[in-house]
A and B are shown apart, each in its own frame.
Chain A
Amino acid sequence: MKYLVETNSLCKQYGNKFSVKNLNLKVRPGCVYGFLGPNGAGKSTTMKMLLGLVKPTLGEIQIFGKEIREKNRMEILRATGSLIESPSYYGHLSGRENLQIVQTLKGAEQKEIDEVLSIVRMEGQQKKKVRDYSLGMKQRLGLAAALLGRPKLLLLDEPTNGLDPAGIQKMRELISDLPKHYGITVIVSSHLLSEIDQMAEDVGIIDKGRMIYQGSLRKLHDKAKGSIHIHVMNPAAAISVLREQKEDYEQNGKVLIVPEREDIRLAELIARLAGKGAQITRVVEQQKSLEDIFLKLTGKQVSL
Chain B
Amino acid sequence: MWREWKIEWMKVQRRGIGLLVFLFWGVTALWSTWVLHGVPKSQLEDGFRMMIFQLPLMDTILMPTMLAMTASRLCDMEVKGNTLKLLCTMERKEHIFDIKLLTGVCYLTLFVVMQMGMMVVQGALYGFVGSLQPRQFFFFFLQIYVVSVGILLLQVILSFSFENQILPLAAGLFGSFMGLFSWFFPKGFLKKCILWSYYSDLCFMINDWDREAGTVTYYDAPFDFLSLGILLIIVAAGYVAGKKYFLRKEL
B90 close to A77 (CB less than 8 A): yes
Cβ B15 vs Cβ A92 within 8 A: yes
Q: Is the CB of B85 within 8 A of A85?
A: yes
Task: Return the chain B residue nearest A157 by Cβ.
Answer: B85
A53-B89, A85-B85 given; A91·B80 CB < 8 A = yes
Chain A facing B: main interface SS: loop
A208 to B10, alpha carbons, bound, how many Å? 42
Q: What A residues does B14 contact at CB under 8 A?
A: 92-93
What residues of A have a CB within 8 angstroms of the CB of B3 in the complex? 104-105, 107
Q: A90-B81, A91-B81, A92-B77 are in contact. Are A100 and B251 (CB under 8 A)?
A: no
Is B77 a contact partner of A77 (Cβ separation < 8 A)?
A: no
CB-based contact B91/A53 at 8 Å: no
Question: How many residues in B have their beta carbons less than 8 Å from beta carbons of A?
Answer: 25
Q: In the bound complex, what is the Cα–Cα distance between A100 and B6 (angstroms)?
A: 11
Residues in B neighbouring A107, C-beta threshold 8 A: 3
A54 at the interface (CB under 8 A from B): yes
**Complex Cα gap A86–B84 (Å):** 12
CB nearest neighbor in A for B6: A104
Let me know if A93 and B11 touch, CB within 8 A: yes
Task: Select A53's contact among B11, B85, B92, beta carbons within 8 Å.
Answer: B85
Q: Which residue of A lies closest to B83 (CB)?
A: A88
**Closest residue to B88 on the A side, CB-wise?**
A53
**Are A90 and B86 in contact (CB-based, < 8 A)?**
no
A55 and B82 contacting across the interface, CB-CB below 8 Å:
no
Bound CA span A92–B15, Å: 8
A97 within 8 A of B: yes
Within the complex, what minimum Cβ distance (angstroms) separates A196 from chain B? 23
The answer on a CB contact under 8 Å between B88 and A52 is: yes
Q: Known contacts A48-B251, A53-B250, A90-B77; decide if A100 and B10 are in contact (CB<8 Å).
A: yes
CB under 8 Å from chain A, chain B span 68-86: 77, 80-86
| Minimum Cβ distance to chain B for residue A46 (Å) | 14
A106 lies within 8 A of chain B by Cβ: yes
**The residue from B13, B15, B90, B250 contacting A105, defined by CB atoms under 8 A apart:** B90
Residues of A near B87 (CB, < 8 A) are 88, 105
CB distance from B34 to the nearest CB of A (A): 35
Of residues 6 to 20 in B, which have CB atoms within 8 Å of A's CB atoms?
A: 6-7, 10-11, 13-15
Q: Are the CB atoms of B89 and A82 closer together than 8 Å?
A: yes
Q: Across the interface, which residues of A come within 8 angstroms of B98, CB to CB? A: none
Interface size on A, residues (CB 8 A): 30
Determine if B163 is an interface residue (Cβ-Cβ < 8 Å).
no
B4 within 8 Å of A (CB atoms): yes
Assembly CA distance A100 to B82 (angstroms): 17
Chain B residue nearest to A81 in the complex (CB): B89
In the bound assembly, the distance between CA atoms of A101 and B13 in angstroms comes to 12
Considering only residues 98-153 of chain A, those with a C-beta below 8 Å from chain B are 100-102, 104-107, 145
A56 to nearest B CB, angstroms?
Answer: 11
Closest to B8 in A: A101
Q: How far is it, in angstroms, between the C-alpha of A54 and the C-alpha of B83 when the chains are bound?
A: 15
A97 touches B10 (CB 8 A): yes
Bound complex: CA A54 to CA B87 (Å): 14
Whole-angstrom distance between the alpha carbons of A104 and B10 in the complex? 10
Is A84 at the interface (CB under 8 A from chain B)? yes
Nearest CB of chain B from residue A115's CB, rounded to whole Å: 19
Pick the residue among A51, A74, A90, A104 that contacts B92 (CB under 8 A): A74
Known: A52-B88, A53-B251, A92-B15. 10 other contacts (CB 8 A): A78-B90, A85-B85, A86-B82, A88-B85, A88-B87, A90-B11, A90-B81, A91-B80, A91-B81, A92-B14
- 29 A–B contacts, CB within 8 A, in A order: A48-B85, A48-B250, A51-B88, A51-B89, A53-B88, A53-B250, A54-B250, A74-B92, A77-B90, A84-B85, A84-B86, A87-B82, A88-B82, A88-B83, A88-B85, A88-B87, A89-B81, A89-B82, A90-B11, A91-B77, A92-B15, A93-B10, A93-B13, A101-B7, A101-B11, A102-B90, A105-B3, A105-B91, A106-B90
